[in-house]
Structure 1
Amino acid sequence: MNFIFRILGAAVAFWVAMQILPGMTINAEGSKYWGTLLVVALIFGVINAIVKPIVEGLSCLFVILTLGLFLLVINAAMLLLTSWLAGQLNVPFHVDNFYPTAFWGAIIISVVTWVLGLFSRD
């Protein structure tokens, strides 16, 4: 049940980010729009579970030297990777560029999922 709540929370976070940033788009309508949001949230979750820890481990020195600010760059890169992988899987989700779209999108998604996580039970 916790897994489903996390995917739904990530989908809501993506929706909020797309409402704020014009560079994040889903080319679907109606029920396909929400289904695509769920698929994108699932792809993002898999990337964050598998790829992100490897990238963070390899860039540990940069994270320490920048006092953690390099994590913002890593989050934006994971969002761009999600966009690329969604394109490879024919999911109509696209992020235009790194800055400002992916950078601010990653921040918005992180904040919204954090706020939604405050309401979940562990």
Structure 2
Amino acid sequence: MRLLVSAVALGLTFWIVDLCWNGQLLPLIIIALIFGVVNALIRPLVILLTCPLIILTLGVFVFVINVLMLWLTIWVSYQLGLGFTCVPEFFWNLVLGAIVLTLVSWVVSLMVPDEREAHRAH
């Protein structure tokens, strides 16, 4: 279920923001998997390595890390030929994409119950 939520959030983000997405829906599941792997393996390492910078900026640098993780996901997907016509060269498109992805993920997660919370309720 989480994979589908990520795919929907990514698809809406790519549709709203110009991130060189070609509009193909089928590769979104694979792109969501790549996004999950990037966020599960690379993001924690980057956060650990930049911890002093995160503290110094009062957490704002985490947003920069989120932008980089979105860019990395798009770059890997492009290299694999999955739904992108280019890698976005404009930093502000990626920033806007990260903002939209955060908001869309939040809204979609409100609509779809979390399995862990359902288990805690029983």
The aligned residue for residue 72 of structure 2 is: 81
Greater alpha carbon shift after TM alignment, 48-57 vs 93-102: 93-102
The aligned residue for residue 114 of structure 1 is: 106
Structure 1 residue runs of 4 or more that deviate by more than 4 Å after TM superposition: none
Q: Distance in 2 between matches of 1:27 and 1:66?
A: 36
Question: Runs of 5+ in structure 2 lacking a partner?
Answer: 118-122
Q: Distance in 1 between matches of 2:57 and 2:90?
A: 19
TM-score (norm 1): 0.82
Structure showing greater Rg? 2
Pick the structure with more strand per residue: 1
Cα-Cα RMSD: 1.6
Is 1:55 matched up with 2:55? no
Q: How many residues align?
A: 113
Counting aligned pairs with the same residue, the percent is 41
Q: Partner amino acid for 2:32?
A: A
Is 1:26 matched up with 2:21? yes
Deviation of residue 53 (structure 1)?
Answer: 0.2
TM-score (norm 2): 0.82
